[in-house]
Amino acid sequence: SQELEQSPQSLIVQEGKNLTINCTSSKTLYGLYWYKQKYGEGLIFLMMLQKGGEEKSHEKITAKLDEKKQQSSLHITASQPSHAGIYLCGAVPISSGSARQLTFGSGTQLTVLP
């Protein structure tokens, strides 16, 4: 089965600092989703990457998928308290190619200190 490892598990940064969250797969990814979650709430879609070497940005958040499609990073520039939450990566298994059957990492808890 496909496993996703996220690092770090938790991150505390001062407002204005940059940060990076990593997501590593044990197998080649068909595609990868990044979501943000507030504690006990639903997941908010951030980005979806499918092609090796792909990079997408939205506001101050940039996500990249490496050429081998086994590792992704999420970078936040000039962090703000509104960025605080749990960041989850979800992999599309290459066996099914179905985006609805995602395997998620354990999440990275981000705290941004004002």
Partner 1 sequence: DAGVTQSPTHLIKTRGQHVTLRCSPISGHKSVSWYQQVLGQGPQFIFQYYEKEERGRGNFPDRFSARQFPNYSSELNVNALLLGDSALYLCASDSGTGGTLSNEKLFFGSGTQLSVL
Please give the residue ranges that form the binding site for partner 1 (CB under 8 A): 4, 30-31, 33, 35, 40-45, 48, 50, 88, 90, 92, 96-107
Query: Is-contact 25 91, C-beta < 8 A?
Result: yes
Supply the minimum distance, in Å, between the C-beta of residue 10 and partner 1: 11
Q: Is 63 buried (19+), middle (13-18) or exposed (0-12) by CB count in 10 A?
A: buried
Pick the closer one to partner 1 by CB: 31 or 112: 31
User: What is the enclosing helix (H) or strand (E) of 35?
Assistant: strand 31-37
Pick the closer one to partner 1 by CB: 6 or 79: 6
Residue 67 gets the label, from left (phi > 0), alpha (psi -120 to 50) or beta, of alpha
**Rg of the chain in Å (alpha carbons):** 13
Supply the minimum distance, in Å, between the C-beta of residue 30 and partner 1: 6
Supply the minimum distance, in Å, between the C-beta of residue 61 and partner 1: 16
Supply the minimum distance, in Å, between the C-beta of residue 109 and partner 1: 9
Pick the closer one to partner 1 by CB: 79 or 93: 93
